[in-house]
Structure 1
């Protein structure tokens, strides 16, 4: 579910040759119309369900609370009930926004949640619904997702760097950008592993390794794009760090979005790459797509 988003598009590329995989777009199963979800799952009778659909507009969610809960919680409960019915493993993506961001270290799965936004609260409710059904599940909490499609920080900052001489970027929010490609890779690994030996149900944290602020990410992305031959008006030295107070948003962002991934690393095949490698890979994809012109 959610085949047209950042993660969904990556999953489509990974599974497109597998005839046993059905990619579901919004028009086939609209999360605002719950009966379409149940009808489709009953027709397919899946062994695995991957839910990449979500309401992700953090600021808009403050104005559309009912819709955010409908997509991120109520619809998820329907998927979880269907997974329970057919004994399927539900792979669901959640967010660092379930935490308030006040902790000084990377968050572990068992740390107390305390979402400060409608988006975070709706995603946490979705997690609770999944666990309450008794279905088999893997909830992957991730953060700062980037890719060559959709709306994300890397695309936005490089577009600005193409057209502006100077940029200001927040430097007091810390985390690790995570490529949709990495999320897709880990998801495929878990699905294949589960087909052999059932994966333990639970919440797992998934993000790239290392840490940096949005300012750090912007400087690195502009520097690497320039090194790869992209002509940008704004150089890395012309990016100015600023406080998030200078850019107030309707929904408050966590100051600490770091996630501890040790639990996940114990069960996946490949080591988790650094956030810089995730940025490099995303820039390479953007170059191939001729986005940076």
Structure 2
């Protein structure tokens, strides 16, 4: 029995469906080679809808005229609402890359009170926050354009060092201070730069950093990891086909040499679907 499958191609089709039918992007000009990077770029920019605990920093202060908008956003975060309307409108541009997010892992949110079309009313001052799986770390309200303000990372380090621990460079000393303007130049050229906070702690880019194309480095790592995973699942399924013969015979198999299977991914499972026999097999559970 020979397995006929293309799990990586099936995965790409799943990504296409999400990008087009769930997030509303036009992907007509995106090559299959670039598709995963485009997907992970969009995914990173759009915080997953889930309930999060809101924590504010020791210097957090919201201007009184934005207080209602901040309370609205805070309620959305705590209730697991969609935060996309509070993001920059550039989130609708598929190939737009957020250099603040890729470098320091920080989102910026508008604090308007009412929707204007698909987005909340725009505000000059913006809330900068680190959005983790279960926590929303509200750093402070900054003026528009403060993309490389050192106070952003100083505040993160001082208040939530554990949230940055993965990127801490132990036993590293940096004598080079990068100014705001220099950091913006580095970002524009897709060059990664370490940053050093006032107590001497040195961090690699806490947003994952970028490759020369401007995509987040993690998107390349995730794509390679997924390719290896899916290849391994196909190889394992091929080796297990003989053990599935009895099940296949019960559903119409009559000795065919080639068995077709496709990949389906649910919220917590990877499944192999055998379309000719209307059965599925769990490849990975509780993902």
Bin of the TM-score, shorter chain as denominator length = under 0.3
**Greater strand percent: which structure?**
2
TM-score normalised to structure 2 length: 0.23
**Greater helix percent: which structure?**
1
Select the structure of larger CA radius of gyration: 2
